[in-house]
Amino acid sequence: MEKVLYNGEIVNRSDCSVQLEDRGYQFGDGIYEVIRVYQGKFFTLEEHLDRLFLSAKKLSMDSSLDYTTLLSLLKKLVDVNGVVNGTVYLQWTRGVAKRHHQFPVPSAKGTIIAYTNSLERPISNIQNGVSAKLVEDIRWLRCDIKSLNLLGNVLAKEEAIKADCFEAILHRGEIVTEGSSSNVYMVKEGKLYTHPVSNLILEGITRKVVKRICGEENVSLIERQFTVEDLKSADEVFITSTTAEVMPIINIDNEPVGGGKPGKLTVLLQNRFQDQINQLGALH
Ligand SMILES: Cc1ncc(COP(=O)(O)O)c(C=O)c1O
């Protein structure tokens, strides 16, 4: 029987239900995380929980669980479900209250749920690369918060999928921001660029891992805005996310990019990323 985390306890999935007046359900008033599990072990769990609690703080959301309790419940969940390779989806809403736009007074107890999925690594896409479609970034101006409000992302991804692409690369006017569910990078004249951390992008946990790797490999990661034209004429393009890892983009809007194959620096970062996954076994 599959278990889930619900109201601070590990229970059967069938014993879990959404309340009609949960603010996550009615307003998208909540936050979430997707956390990777490799060989039964969490990858960058603490970084994800740090970002979760930071998002909660930015939205003045109360927790029904403290950090340490949540961390141990998530580990227990992965164990009881016997997850080998997969993800944990965690969602935390402002809780259940009569429907008014303003925050409930007194504040509601936040609803935290989590469940597991099995998911293998996307080896073929990582090795061969994928296509992307450029889509105007119409999202709100607090993309730094990992909010449940994902309509801008959903519409962009749908456009990409309809065009037979793996990801939508978003741009505000001329400026490339990020993917619909990933961060975006380009290599030009031997230099690696990505959008700086700001309200216009989510600071990805995989982005942090890649930044760390760059430091170790003496690759300078330049956190600076670049344009759609820069991207189209780049020597290499790749995206990162918890589920996509370091994934080469070899085609944008039906035009090959970076010679239509994964680039040298991309492959180096992929190899070092793979090392980090392999190290999980050694660390625990
Ligand atoms: C909009 C957006 N940017 C970036 C990312 C990458 O974040 P992470 O590496 O933490 O998965 C995601 C992940 O879902 C995302 O939704």
Domain 123-283 sits in CATH at 3.20.10.10
- 3-118 CATH fold: D-amino Acid Aminotransferase; Chain A, domain 1 (3.30.470)
What spacing in Å lies between the alpha carbon of 179 and ligand 1's midpoint? 8
Confidence of residue 11 (pLDDT cuts 50, 70, 90): very high
What digits encode the pLDDT tens for the residues 166-176? 999 999 999 99
Tally of helices (H runs) and strands (E runs) in the chain? 8, 15
What spacing in Å lies between the alpha carbon of 215 and ligand 1's midpoint? 21
Q: What percent of the chain has pLDDT over 70?
A: 99
Q: Is the CB of 87 under 6 A from ligand 1?
A: no
pLDDT of 121 strictly over 50: yes
Separation between Cα atoms, residue 4 and residue 65, nearest integer Å: 15
Q: Which of 241, 245, 269, 277 to mutate to test the pocket of ligand 1 (most atoms within 8 A of CB)?
A: 241
Confidence of residue 180 (pLDDT cuts 50, 70, 90): very high
Atom of ligand 1 nearest to the CA of 178: 3
Is 146 labeled as catalytic in the residue annotation? yes
Catalytic residue among 3, 98, 109, 146: 146
* DSSP secondary structure string for all residues of 15-83: G----TTBHHHHH--EEEEEEEEETTEEESHHHHHHHHHHHHHHTTPPPSS-HHHHHHHHHHHHHHTT-
Q: Residue 170's pLDDT is what? A: 99
Separation between Cα atoms, residue 29 and residue 210, nearest integer Å: 30
Q: Is the CB of 182 under 6 A from ligand 1?
A: yes
Confidence of residue 105 (pLDDT cuts 50, 70, 90): very high
Closest-CA residue to 139 (of 28, 34, 60): 28
Residue with tokens 């959903």: 154
Q: Residue 283's pLDDT is what? A: 52
The average pLDDT across 67-80 equals: 98
Residue with tokens 């008033």: 29
Q: Residue 107's pLDDT is what? A: 87
Indicate the average pLDDT of the chain. Answer: 96
Atom of ligand 1 nearest to the CA of 209: 9
pLDDT of 223 strictly over 90: yes
Q: Residue 282's pLDDT is what? A: 65
pLDDT of 284 strictly over 50: no
Confidence of residue 163 (pLDDT cuts 50, 70, 90): very high
Domain boundaries, the chain: 3-118, 123-283
Q: Is the CB of 178 under 6 A from ligand 1?
A: yes
pLDDT of 216 strictly over 90: yes
- Shortest-distance Cα residue to atom 8 of ligand 1: 204
